[in-house]
Structure 1
Amino acid sequence: MRLLGAGDNVVDRYLDTGVMYPGGNAVNVAVYARRCGAESSYWGRVGTDRAGDVVLTALRAEQVDVSGVRRVPGANAHADVVVVDGDRIFKDSDDGVSDFELTDADYRRLGDFDVVHTAYSGSLIEAVPRMAGHTRVSFDFSNRYAEPYVARLLPHLYLAAHSGSDLDDEQVEALLADGLRRGARHVLVTRGGAGARLATAAGEFRQPSVAADVVDTMGAGDAFIAGLLTGLLAGESPTAALTRAARTAAGACAVSGAFGHPAPIPAPLLPHPQGERS
């Protein structure tokens, strides 16, 4: 199975510890799909700074193909994170050079992959219908349920993924039903510790969460998507694919950052103790 993650990448900068980790939805799905046994690639724009080095080095270490990465002069995308009472709080962020568009040649190459995954956080929202003309498309909406583009994209999706930790059972049912009605082949709602639910034309399937030694939940939802996609496209039943996905997500929770590979934040970028830039 060949999976492509296309669009966003980032370094998550943990200001409390002075460490940054590579990540971004498309990157994380590509990495965890590779760990699940798929051939995996990432396409996107990476900066020429130290953060860009961290992203590329980690992808290569994870054996994700980066031949489609474009190195662009400038700063890589980043998100600043602090931990308050055990919870991650996102502070400043910057998209850097990450705005990414597909060329005509890129679209033609999509047919080499069994599925391409992208997300609300990237720049390929409007490209999804054309992408779906070349291969299966997986899209992570996160908790952007009400965005106007949701209805436009659903008819083109192999997998429509939502984060529904803040939804009650009735709202989850409505989200699943609406996704199927509008044409998505699989509709997923992950709910953190409450597990996940998957709707298909064959019915609805529930997956409880898997016990994990939680170090950091960053990237766990992306890992779930990767496990589900690799299972479904390998011919597993929805039940087996969901079990694979839950175990993959539990593994993601056991490492710091989305998938490890820590690097020190360059000293000039660390905040001054009084909150000023040094």
Structure 2
Amino acid sequence: MRLAAIGDNCVDFYERQGWAYPGGNAVNVAVYGRQLGMDTAYLGWIGTDNFGDMMQEKLKEQDVETVRMQRKEGKTAVTYIELLDGDRKFGEDFLNVLEGFQLSDEDLQYLAGFDCVHMAVWGQCDTCLGRLPHKVKISYDFSNKYGEPKIEKLAPYIDYAFFSCEEDNTSTRELLKRVKELGAGCVTATLGENGSVAYDGKEFVTSGIAGTKVVDTLGAGDSYIAGFLSKALKGEPLKNCMEAGAKKAALTIGHFGAW
């Protein structure tokens, strides 16, 4: 399976500790997917600063294809993070060179060669939806942006929609059902320590977490998505996909930084 993750990248900077890790939703999904045996690529813009050097070097180390990753004059995107009892708290973030990111016709031609393209609500890639061949599956992470007006517009193009919620309750299930009815394929909500719940149009399926010691929750949702897709793109049952996501997330939260 070939998976391309497009759009956002950033350096996660733990200011108090002085730690800097490459990350961002799209970058993380590409790395986790490669770790799970998929051929993956990242497409986006990084800066010409030291953080850009680090991003390029680390993606190469992880064997993620970067032939369409471009370096733009300026600073790489940065997100400031504070760690409180193993739970990451996001502070200020600066898009920097990503501020003007857009996909070119050449980028779209490149993406047409993949089985699946993953993007997120803040990745500035929505314009590619509807412009890729129907054979290319679309994965989209809406995070906790449940009220985004563009959900209605984008849902018909999305095969795997992901949200970040807190509990498997009526509100969460109504959200999943609504997005499914708007035209999305399978809709899944990760619930932190409460596992995950998904809806395929016929039934709700639940899955628990894989037990582990929590060191840093950064990247948990992104790794869940990669684990899920590693099975979904092979046509495996929904429950298997969810369990694979939970297993990969458990590995991620057992160390500092996303990967």
| Aligned counterparts of 2:86 and 2:215: Cα–Cα separation in 1 | 10
Contact 2:101/2:124 (<8 A) preserved: yes
The aligned residue for residue 80 of structure 1 is 80
Instruction: Please state how far the C-alpha of 1:200 moved relative to its aligned partner.
Output: 1.1
C-alpha distance in 1, partners of 2:85/2:27? 28
Task: Call closer, same or farther: CA 1:134–1:109 in 2, change over 3 Å.
Answer: farther
2:144 maps to: 143
Specify the code of the residue in structure 2 equivalent to 1:137: I
Q: Which amino acid aligns with 2:249?
A: A
CA RMSD across the alignment: 1.5
Q: State the TM-score, normalizing by the size of structure 2.
A: 0.95
Question: Following the alignment from structure 1 to structure 2, what is the Cα–Cα distance between the partners of residues 136 and 86?
Answer: 34
- 2:29 maps to amino acid: V
- Contact 2:168–2:197 (8 Å) recurs in 1: no
Question: Residue by residue, what CA displacement relative to the aligned partner does 1:61-95 show, whole Å, maximum 9, x if unpaired?
Answer: 11100111001111000011123454423222210
Deviations 1:218-256 (A, max 9, x none): 010000001101101122211111111110010110121
Q: 1:168 to 1:37 in 2, by over 3 A?
A: closer
Equivalence map 1:163-242=2 (5 Å): 163-165=164-166, 169-242=169-242
How many angstroms apart in 2 are the aligned matches of 1:45 and 1:64? 15
Supply the AA of the counterpart residue of 1:177: K
Cα deviation for residue 216 of structure 1 reads: 0.5
- Give, in whole Å, the separation in 1 of the partners of 2:116 and 2:159: 8
Distance 2:45 2:233 in 1: 27
Larger radius of gyration: 1
Q: How many residue pairs align between the two structures?
A: 258
Q: Which residue identity does 1:74 align to in structure 2?
A: G
For structure 2, the residue ranges without an aligned partner over 5 or more in a row are none
- For the residues of structure 2 that align with 1:254 and 1:194, how far apart are their CA atoms? 17
SS of structure 1 residue aligned to 2:155 = helix
8 Å CA contact 2:87–2:216 kept in 1: the answer is: no
Distance in 1 separating the partners of 2:50 and 2:93? 16
Verify the 8 A CA contact 1:5 1:116 in the aligned structure 2: yes
Runs of 4+ in 1 over 3 A off after TM superposition: 84-87, 131-134
Task: Give, in angstroms, the shift of residue 101 of structure 1.
Answer: 1.3
Query: What letter matches 1:80 in structure 2?
Result: Y
Deviation, 1:198, is: 1.3
Letter of the 2:22 counterpart: P
| Gap change, CA 1:14 and 1:203, over 3 Å in 2 | same
Q: TM-score, normalised by structure 1?
A: 0.89
* Partner Cα distance (1:95, 1:129) in 2: 26
Counterpart of 1:109 in structure 2 is: 110
Amino acid at match of 1:11: V
Whether contact under 8 Å (2:3, 2:40) holds in the other structure is yes
Q: Is the 8 A contact 2:115 2:135 kept in 1?
A: no
